[in-house]
Structure 1
Amino acid sequence: MSEQKTTQSARELVEDSIRLGIAVGDFLPGEPLREREICELNGVSRSAVREAFRSLEAEGLITTVRYRGPMVSQLSIEEVRSIYELRGILESQAARLFTLRASDEQCARLRQTVEDIGRGHDTQDMVLVISSSADFYHVLAEGTGNVAIGQTLFSLLNRLALFRFSSTRWPGRAEKSMAELRAIICAVEQRNAEAAAQRAREHTEASGEIALLVIEERNRGALASGRTRRRKTT
């Protein structure tokens, strides 16, 4: 039993490490994930890394390419648009249910996560921004009293970790995002469920617009890089 628990903990350590690496830009879309390097980075066995790869592939964060191995997934514009549309529906409903069902203590915890995110932006501490954002959604999901919404929302958010670093670095996005989050929490504290749902949808729509801009920028960069390589070989 203890050996199984140790293996499970090692797998989770690797998963969290890779998720964070993707979120802060250490691992970029299309970048290969080398088993030996991940083992050395986390001090775990190859079996734990392989289990983590399988789990992250199921989430859509990793894609295994034949003859090339696992790499960070690359999402198309159509995939990102679809994910954000679904996220908007779920996050809006989560905000509505939280406002109707959450305790005052849960509302206070949600407010604290928003302030922690803001502190992370102010100090340029991306790890704090990401961890506090995760706390925000954990508290939000808990307060809905709906396990299915929470599970589905977290699945989508894990896939969108691919954009967290790039989108928060987009000029003016951090400030706008904080204004959106504070609008959500204000509506929640006023127990205005419809306003909270609307503010949550607006936040998701704005995040989705930035994610699409990030993809377009990456595509232009890849195209320019390809043209440069072709010119060098001709």
Structure 2
Amino acid sequence: MSPKNNHKKRVHRDFPRFVEDLENRILTGGFKPREHLVEAKLSRMFAVSRYWVRDAFKILEAKGLVRITPYKGVAVSELEASELEEIFAVRVPLEQLAWRLAMHNAVEKDLERLQQIAQDIAQAHAQKSIQAVLAADTEFHDQVLKLCRNRTLRRLITDLRKRSHIARFAAWSSPEVVRQVAAEHYQFVEALRQKDTGQLDELARRHINHAREFYLFGLRAEGAVAGARP
């Protein structure tokens, strides 16, 4: 489907915000894996110059979100199944560390905020709004990364999450996925409140493994994972 059918035209006067908006469209399923991104169409859609679009493509390519092929153009990246497996394997110990650090730094108002976001996820699911679910899930994990107060760890996890989130929209189209993930967010908050490091480690491992399974299943169903077996 052409991007212009999915999104309203938006005027950008700030290049970093334009890049961020384009990136978010990819990460939330506005542009699907393998979908071609046409410079002229994006220029009209966002009301920016074609120079900005070209520069944005270079930034997104460096992040692994698009692929630029000479004489063929630009397309949203697809992941090799093996690459997705590698990303999730690395995320487990990093996110376990992030949760432990967040546990030491969180105060009651932080826990209340996380609890509210978990409720937002459940409400968005009840309203069958995948976009709202994705936005709330991202906010939840961003809050946790802020609480860990480690800029290097935050950057590493954020980059890995963005790389794998190309696959996220397809996976989260399943109501069962959303129900399970919403329940795990509540469990995370309770483990933080109880300062239960063992439970946090187990939840982080389980949460990421569930995401891995859901992502692979969703993309295989769409045929969007290169090298994935049925």
* Alignment TM-score, normalising by the size of structure 1: 0.84
| Structure 1 residues not aligned, in runs of 5+ | 1-7, 224-234
Contact 1:103 1:143 in 2 (8 A): no
Contact 2:96 2:201 in 1 (8 A): yes
* Alignment TM-score, normalising by the size of structure 2: 0.85
Distance (Å, rounded) in 2 between the aligned partners of 1:199 and 1:222: 29
Pick from 26, 29, 47: which aligns with 2:30? 26
Distance (Å, rounded) in 2 between the aligned partners of 1:150 and 1:220: 28
Secondary structure at 1:63 match in 2: strand
- Whichever residue aligns with residue 177 of structure 2, its letter is R
1:221 positional shift: 10
1:197 positional shift: 2.2
Q: 1:216 to 1:176 in 2, by over 3 A?
A: same
Secondary structure at 1:87 match in 2: helix
Secondary structure at 2:128 match in 1: coil
- What is the correspondence of 1:68-79 to structure 2 with a 5 Å cutoff? 68-79=72-83
Pick from 10, 16, 31: which aligns with 1:12? 16
Contact 2:79 2:226 in 1 (8 A): no
1:207 positional shift: 0.4
After superposition, give the CA deviation of every residue in 1:9-58 in whole Å (9 maximum; x if it has no partner). 63333333333332343311111101111111111122222222111111
Pick from 164, 171, 182: which aligns with 1:167? 171
Pick from 50, 61, 70: which aligns with 1:46? 50
| Structure 2 residues not aligned, in runs of 5+ | 1-11
Distance (Å, rounded) in 1 between the aligned partners of 2:54 and 2:105: 40
Pick from 65, 69, 72: which aligns with 2:69? 65
After superposition, give the CA deviation of every residue in 1:52-107 in whole Å (9 maximum; x if it has no partner). 21111111111111211111001010000001111122222111211122222222
Distance (Å, rounded) in 2 between the aligned partners of 1:195 and 1:116: 23
Give the number of the structure whose alpha-carbon radius of gyration is greater: 1
Secondary structure at 2:156 match in 1: helix
Secondary structure at 2:36 match in 1: coil
- What is the correspondence of 1:107-186 to structure 2 with a 5 Å cutoff? 107-186=111-190
1:218 positional shift: 3.1
After superposition, give the CA deviation of every residue in 1:177-231 in whole Å (9 maximum; x if it has no partner). 11111111111121212211211221110000111222332339999xxxxxxxx
Q: CA RMSD in A?
A: 2.2
Task: Number of aligned residue pairs: give it.
Answer: 216
Distance (Å, rounded) in 2 between the aligned partners of 1:24 and 1:137: 15
Which structure has greater helix proportion?
Answer: 1
Q: 1:37 to 1:13 in 2, by over 3 A?
A: farther
Distance (Å, rounded) in 2 between the aligned partners of 1:114 and 1:171: 16
Contact 1:111 1:185 in 2 (8 A): yes
